[in-house]
């Protein structure tokens, strides 16, 4: 393996340090799918077009499950980011502070920040964009799987 290729593969976190964190992220998708299925089941009988105080138990359960679902998605994603890209985040914050101290115009600050990222850490930046793009696809799969699980549970209950 050439030196250039080795350096490139060492800079991509998913090939090295982030592998166990990525697998942990994938393991945590099952509870998210189940939570979303319960959200759909609990919300399927609710009428959101009118306010009815007599149905507050079911409405409270729906919103509590919905909050738990979004909290699980947030916790899982941020945990993965912090564990896998912690050093990159520290570097980004440092560069942002330096740029903000040097320039007063927001447009110039943004341009200088992007130029610094492009020159120094383009591989890591592209990796972050690709990983979070994949997370959006995975979240869509979780939603579809939750919808399918909720539909199957409701059919079996009838």
Q: What pLDDT is recorded for position 13? A: 63
Cα(146)–Cα(57) distance, rounded to whole angstroms?
22
Residue 69 CB neighbours (<10 A):
23
User: Which residues of the chain have a pLDDT value below 70?
Assistant: 1-16, 85-89, 91-92
Q: What is the mean pLDDT of the chain?
A: 78
- Please tell me what DSSP assigns to residue 2: -
Q: What pLDDT is recorded for position 54? A: 80
One-character DSSP codes across 89-110: HHHHHHHHHHHHHH--SHHHHH
Cα(89)–Cα(96) distance, rounded to whole angstroms?
10
Q: What pLDDT is recorded for position 8? A: 47
For the chain, which residues make up each domain, given as ranges? 16-157
Do 38 and 151 touch, CB atoms closer than 8 A?
no
Q: What pLDDT is recorded for position 71? A: 94
Q: What pLDDT is recorded for position 66? A: 94
């Amino acid at each position: 393996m050439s030196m250039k290729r080795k350096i490139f593969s060492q800079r991509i976190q998913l090939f090295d340090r982030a592998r166990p964190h990525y697998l942990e992220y994938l393991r945590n998708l099952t509870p998210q799918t189940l939570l979303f299925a319960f959200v759909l089941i609990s919300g399927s009988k609710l009428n959101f077009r009118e306010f009815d105080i007599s149905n507050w138990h079911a409405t409270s359960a729906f919103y509590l499950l919905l909050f738990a679902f979004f909290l699980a998605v947030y916790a899982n994603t941020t945990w993965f980011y912090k564990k896998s890209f912690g050093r990159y985040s520290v570097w980004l914050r440092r560069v942002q502070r330096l740029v903000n101290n040097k320039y007063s115009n927001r447009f110039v600050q943004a341009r200088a920040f992007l130029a610094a990222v492009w020159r120094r850490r383009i591989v890591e930046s592209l990796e972050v964009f690709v990983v979070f793009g994949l997370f959006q696809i995975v979240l869509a799969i979780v939603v579809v799987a939750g919808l399918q699980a909720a539909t199957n549970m409701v059919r079996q209950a009838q």
